[in-house]
Amino acid sequence: MKKDNTFEGKIIIFTAPSGSGKTTIVRHLLKKYDFLGFSVSATNRKKRPKEEDGKDYYFLKPEKFQKKIEEGAFVEWEEVYEGKYYGTLKSEIKRVWSKGKHVVFDIEVKGATNIKKLYPDNSMAVFVRPPSLSELRRRLTNRKTETESSLKKRLNRAEEEMTYENKFDKVIINDLLEVALEEAEQIIESFCIK
């Protein structure tokens, strides 16, 4: 709690290369624990089928995203792929805390390191790792959302992101989903329910 009685909860950051299963893990945790609230990231990329604005992402036009950068509206932002920006609005953390909940992030690796630096005392950063790059390729291919070119970009980026693993507080190897979910639950319970 802050002195002005505004709830300042904890921050739990889940990060991973695309296709590692972090979103599946985060969705599971949000269903299981009502004291967690999801931080919706902003992006300027196009909405995929089944994604909802304000639930999966805030889908902003490129010029609006740029304007928010200039206004200092982001806690962190990153050009993840050429011309594709992702970031966390400061208002998102306040929105979740205003509900008396701890904030859960599902974000890319560089953004995760930036949030961890900004909130070193009340955050837990968890890196979700695929068992191998070949398994990651299989998962991304099975999604059927990637072209051969975009798949190659994601795998190249994943290889770079795997080098960040040791910068985080905990690592979950998502080989068997049930085991990964159980490990994530243990992390949440030990960090949030002390």
What is the percent of the chain with per-residue pLDDT over 70, rounded to a whole number? 96
**pLDDT at position 6:** 64
Residue 4 phi, psi (nearest 5)? -85, 15
Per-residue pLDDT tens digits for 39-84:
999 999 999 888 999 998 999 999 999 999 999 999 999 888 889 9
**pLDDT at position 131:** 84
Mean pLDDT of 84-89: 94
**pLDDT at position 68:** 97
- Where are the domains positioned within the chain? 11-192
Three-point CA angle 106, 110, 112, nearest 5°: 40
CB-based contact 123:47 (threshold 8 Å) = no
Mean pLDDT of 164-188: 95
* Confidence grade of residue 172 (pLDDT, cut at 50, 70, 90): very high
Three-point CA angle 20, 61, 98, nearest 5°: 70
Residue 163 has pLDDT above 90, yes or no: no
Query: The domain 11-192 is classified under which CATH number: 1.20.1250.20, 1.20.120.420, 3.40.50.300, 3.40.50.620?
Result: 3.40.50.300
Residue 7 has pLDDT above 60, yes or no: yes
**pLDDT at position 5:** 55
**pLDDT at position 176:** 92
